[in-house]
Amino acid sequence: MEVRPVVYGQSSRPPRGDYSRAASDYTCTQNYAAYTEVEHATWRQLYARQRALLPGRASSDFIACLPLLGASERIPHFEDINTRLQAATGWQLVGVPGLIPEVDFFRLLSQRRFPVTDWIRTRDELDYIVEPDIFHDLFGHVPLLFHPVLADYMQAYGAGGLKAADLGATELLARLYWYTIEFGLVREADGIKAYGAGILSSAGELAYSVTSPIPQRLPLQLERTMRTRYRIDDYQHTYFVIDDLQQLLDFASSDFAPLYDRLRQLPEIAADERLPGEASIPV
């Protein structure tokens, strides 16, 4: 099978990453020696900036798990993280050259293998990058893979993704990933906090998502979430809020096939649309 680069949404930049190194499942070995001192400095700056922004904004689960990443000064070796991650939740990180096809992504998750992009953004992309890089993947996603409930949810999501592909429903299920794993919020005793990787790895959206009066914040309901379109080129107009991570795992045990059939009969909801009777959760 020929491995081809995957283009992401509205990015005008050509695909990055060396796909010629990838195996048939799109995984590749991390070429650690290829990282430059400038790239390590980029990692260090991004890590320090995001870490300073977490208190009062990031979920308590994320803050508790972040030290397990153990990589504040330099881009980490995947194998070093894997030793700790395997012992904690049975997950492993695998390198990928960039974005990969949905089915391959789902299959890796179903095997408790998390794909991590092996390149880092340039200095002029510190504040915004369209496609995920190694900082987004490691800082944003991996800490909560040390949490047993989120780890189980991610595997269940991958297995569900393979079923969705067979049912022609990957776009519907992708919205659930977007509004939970990438841009999810959780209600805690002292307020709304972020647990989604797209928020946690973004300096601007981390504060915006939990303090700005502009976006609406709605309780997570499967049907509402999976009908809602999203934007990849701007801060989110709508966030969905869970009570705790267990709620995600409970959702994952649902039979999605009847839900897909129902959703196909309903209109999509715009990213910034509020339905009659909906009230945004105050912050």
Q: How many domains does the chain have?
A: 1
Assess contact for 117 and 98: CB atoms under 8 A.
yes
- Which range of residues forms the domain containing residue 171? 19-263
Residue 217 lies in a domain: yes
Over residues 181-198, mean pLDDT: 98
Burial class (CB in 10 A: 0-12, 13-18, 19+), 267: exposed
Domain of 177, CATH number, reads 1.10.800.10
Report which of residues 3 and 223 the model is more confident about. Answer: 223
Residue type, 92: Q
User: What's the confidence (pLDDT) of residue 110?
Assistant: 98
User: What's the confidence (pLDDT) of residue 129?
Assistant: 86
Burial class (CB in 10 A: 0-12, 13-18, 19+), 215: buried
Q: pLDDT band at residue 233, thresholds of 50, 70 and 90? A: confident
Over residues 98-126, mean pLDDT: 96
For the cut 90, the answer to whether the pLDDT of residue 5 exceeds it is no
Q: pLDDT band at residue 125, thresholds of 50, 70 and 90? A: very high
For the cut 90, the answer to whether the pLDDT of residue 127 exceeds it is no
For the cut 70, the answer to whether the pLDDT of residue 142 exceeds it is yes
For the cut 80, the answer to whether the pLDDT of residue 14 exceeds it is no
User: What's the confidence (pLDDT) of residue 63?
Assistant: 98
For the cut 60, the answer to whether the pLDDT of residue 10 exceeds it is no
Over residues 237-261, mean pLDDT: 96
Over residues 23-29, mean pLDDT: 96
Residue 278 lies in a domain: no
Assess contact for 181 and 141: CB atoms under 8 A.
yes
Report which of residues 212 and 129 the model is more confident about. Answer: 212
Over residues 23-35, mean pLDDT: 97
Q: Is 136 annotated to bind ligand?
A: yes
Assess contact for 117 and 133: CB atoms under 8 A.
yes
Residue 26 lies in a domain: yes
Over residues 83-97, mean pLDDT: 98
Assess contact for 153 and 244: CB atoms under 8 A.
no
Tokens of 25: 């499942």
Residue 169 lies in a domain: yes
Residue with tokens 């990443």, as numbered in its chain: 69
Distance of CA 203 to the CA centre of its chain: 15
Residue 276 lies in a domain: no
Q: Is 182 annotated to bind ligand?
A: yes
Over residues 145-160, mean pLDDT: 98
Burial class (CB in 10 A: 0-12, 13-18, 19+), 1: exposed
Residue 274 lies in a domain: no
Q: What is the pLDDT of the chain when averaged over all its residues?
A: 94
Q: How far is CA 38 from CA 17, 137, 186, 235, in A?
A: 18, 19, 35, 28
Q: Is 141 annotated to bind ligand?
A: yes
Residue 73 to residue 14: CA distance in whole angstroms: 29
User: Cβ neighbours of residue 2 under 8 Å, at least 6 residues apart?
Assistant: none
H or E element at residue 211: helix 203-211
Residue 216 lies in a domain: yes
Model's pTM, two decimal places? 0.94
Residue 3 lies in a domain: no
